[in-house]
Amino acid sequence: MAVSDVARIDWRHEADVVVIGSGAAGLPAAIAARECGASVIMVEAEDDIGGHAITSGGNVPLGGGNAAQRAHGIDDSPDLMFRDLTDWSVVESNGFPDYRYNDHEIIRAFCDHAATTHDFLLKHGVAFIDQAPDARGGNAVGNSVPREMHCAAMDWPLVQTGKPADPAVRATTSTGNGLMRPLEASARRLGVQILLRHRMIALHRESPRSGRVRGIAVQTDAGVIDIFAHKAVIIATGGSTGNVNFRRMFDPRLTEEYCGLSGMPWSDQDASGEIAAMEIGASLWGLYNQMGEFGYSVTKPSAVGCQYNYQNLRWRPGSRVFHKARAIGLTVGDWQNVITVNMQGLRFYDETGRGFTTNNYNSINPYVQGDWRNAENVRYKANNWLNAAMAGIGDGKNGGGPIWAIFDAAACEREGWVAEPPHVDYAAGFCFRAESLAALAESIVMPHQRVPMPPENLEATVARYNAFVDSGVDEDFGKPKPLYKISTPPFHAAWATPVIHDTRAGLRINAHCQVVDLSGRVIPGLYCGGESSGGFSQHGLARATCQGYIAGRHAMSES
């Protein structure tokens, strides 16, 4: 937008700092800016605050020698954490490095501010479970010491159920609600203006590739309005997993059928922040961290028969968004109870195979920071269930298509499954059942099943697998001693397609979380943090809260 156009804009609202998004980066940014004396407007596209963070497990690895670590005798420091998170020698069992491609400037800032961010969260009402930091839920958090802390659910209603946790476990259950609701309450108490159902559609810069960012355009129910920022705009829109064409820049396999994204349907990750910033010259950064086969960028599902089958999130009746989620899903306790087949009704890998792994405290033992022996001592294991699932069917098209878990009535009995709504989603085509395998294959009709499943393929696949149960040897994929035949009707085909989880590539930022353009120059007045930013391999809440804190404080130094 040209200078003259900016000058003519009829600004509907104005504030010193405008924050886009109310998740784990946005709320800390808004609070930190407000504490520094800024007037703050926060816009949120959805009907409620929280983003993907509020649906998370509430695991926050803010180490660096924070108060919780000190209280439990854990010897950590910013320097130790920095060396952990930039250690080239750490690799996963499939050979992929967790930390090698991290931006050292960004990691240094995170490590230097992590303990302060921990104190900031406590100050603003977040209650952590009263226990020593551990390794539960850790994802590229460093190998040397435990850093993971867990936000207590307390009395806040859970977004997954619409009700608070059982009183007996409210102080010991970890949930993203326990992070986001206290921060929301603090933001409102401090006077942050939160505008829900306000979707940012553009950034206003003085000229298309130069000058300051002056504000944003927002789509509302009543039309488009413009909001002026005297000092800064902070992008905290949460990443790009929900934008099919954007995510396919990193991995062309991730076509439309990967529609069960973690965090949805509470909130989307539509790449709106990244796209708007790129339109005014911003650069992307840290792309390897999105493409590398480590961590939870793509995960194996833990539940079948529902669209939203991320391993750590189950939607329940009573949730405000259950009408969108439609089904709880059948949680798989033992993958011996199912076989997984592709669109053609063919098995493709050992069903008990793992997804991608990630480094955590004590993952490598013994461990010496930066020592070549760390990689030498890792025992190679492919962990290729995900890659095999996404390989496709050789028809010249991208995308692996739906993956179906095939099981019978006996498996339902062993697992304790009730293959009826609201546990499974027949209406939207994420679960099917029939009295014969041939009829089951013919019944699988839904938008993402781009080819009919040949009934003879499914019949032959099951017959061959049943023979492996008799022999005790999976001659095709090496599944450890197949245990159960699939022979008792009714038979079921339940959605078991890989799940896209988090975003680890995004806009280029510097240590102050200022957005940087394609020429390496800071874009004045524009900040970003959390999953919309790049250069950091770690998943989730710690980097988002810390970068939000950094961005909010530094924004007030803008002239």
What pLDDT was estimated at residue 388?
97
Query: Half-sphere exposure of 95 toward its Cβ, with a 13 Å CA cutoff?
Result: 3
Mean pLDDT value across the chain: 96
Q: Which residues of 414-440 are buried (b: 16+ CB within 10 A; e: fewer)?
A: ebebebeebbbbbeebbbbbbeebeeb
For the segment 499-522, the average pLDDT, to the nearest whole number, is 97
What pLDDT was estimated at residue 382?
86
Instruction: Count CB neighbours of 252 within 10 A.
Output: 10
Neighbouring residues of 402: CB distance < 8 A, sequence distance ≥ 6: 257, 342, 343, 446, 448, 449, 495, 497
CA distances (Å), 88 to each of 28, 98, 469, 537, 540, in order? 31, 8, 44, 12, 21
Residue 128 is classified by DSSP as: B
For the segment 29-33, the average pLDDT, to the nearest whole number, is 98
With 0-12 / 13-18 / 19 or more C-beta atoms within 10 angstroms meaning exposed / middle / buried, residue 165 is: buried
- Token digits of residue 454: 């040949």
Bridge partners, residue 303, by sequence: 331
What pLDDT was estimated at residue 368?
97
For the segment 229-237, the average pLDDT, to the nearest whole number, is 98
Tens of pLDDT, residue by residue over 126-135, are 999 999 999 9
- The rounded distance, in Å, linking the Cα atoms of 349 and 510 is 42
Tens of pLDDT, residue by residue over 263-309, are 999 999 999 999 999 999 999 999 999 999 999 999 999 999 999 99
For the segment 246-252, the average pLDDT, to the nearest whole number, is 97
Q: Are 136 and 312 a contacting pair, CB within 8 Å?
A: no
pLDDT band at 516 (very low <50, low <70, confident <90, very high): very high
- pLDDT at residue 479 is higher than 50: yes
CA distances (Å), 454 to each of 214, 346, 443, 491, in order? 58, 10, 11, 16
Q: Are 16 and 229 a contacting pair, CB within 8 Å?
A: yes
**DSSP E strand boundaries for 264-409:** 284-285, 298-299, 303-304, 330-331, 339-341, 404-407
Helix (H) or strand (E) holding 43: strand 40-43
- pLDDT at residue 3 is higher than 90: no
What pLDDT was estimated at residue 539?
86
- Token digits of residue 89: 């020698």
Q: What is the pTM of this model?
A: 0.97
For the segment 325-351, the average pLDDT, to the nearest whole number, is 98
Percent of the chain with pLDDT over 90: 96
With 0-12 / 13-18 / 19 or more C-beta atoms within 10 angstroms meaning exposed / middle / buried, residue 471 is: exposed
- Token digits of residue 475: 């001659």
Bridge partners, residue 319, by sequence: 317
CA distances (Å), 341 to each of 389, 417, 495, in order? 9, 20, 10
What pLDDT was estimated at residue 312?
87
- The rounded distance, in Å, linking the Cα atoms of 288 and 145 is 26
- Token digits of residue 28: 């800390």
Q: Are 25 and 49 a contacting pair, CB within 8 Å?
A: no
What pLDDT was estimated at residue 391?
97
What pLDDT was estimated at residue 206?
96
The label of the residue with tokens 């405290």 reads 361
- The rounded distance, in Å, linking the Cα atoms of 202 and 188 is 25
CA max distance for the chain: 78
Instruction: Count CB neighbours of 365 within 10 A.
Output: 8
Instruction: Give the CA dihedral 64, 171, 162, 62, nearest 10 degrees.
Output: 0
Residue ranges and CATH numbers for the domains of the chain are 3-292+501-555 (3.50.50.60)
With 0-12 / 13-18 / 19 or more C-beta atoms within 10 angstroms meaning exposed / middle / buried, residue 514 is: buried
Omega within 30 of 0 (cis) for the link into 422: yes
- The rounded distance, in Å, linking the Cα atoms of 358 and 197 is 36
Q: Which amino acid is at 158?
A: L
- pLDDT at residue 2 is higher than 50: no
- pLDDT at residue 1 is higher than 80: no
- Closest by alpha carbon to 535, among 290, 246, 238, 273? 290
What pLDDT was estimated at residue 559?
66
pLDDT band at 8 (very low <50, low <70, confident <90, very high): confident
For the segment 183-204, the average pLDDT, to the nearest whole number, is 98
Q: Are 282 and 263 a contacting pair, CB within 8 Å?
A: no
- pLDDT at residue 443 is higher than 50: yes
CA distances (Å), 21 to each of 156, 208, 514, 528, 543, in order? 21, 23, 17, 11, 16
- Token digits of residue 91: 């690799």
Neighbouring residues of 5: CB distance < 8 A, sequence distance ≥ 6: none
Three-state secondary structure call for residue 267: coil
Bridge partners, residue 507, by sequence: 284, 533
- The rounded distance, in Å, linking the Cα atoms of 146 and 62 is 10
For the segment 44-73, the average pLDDT, to the nearest whole number, is 97
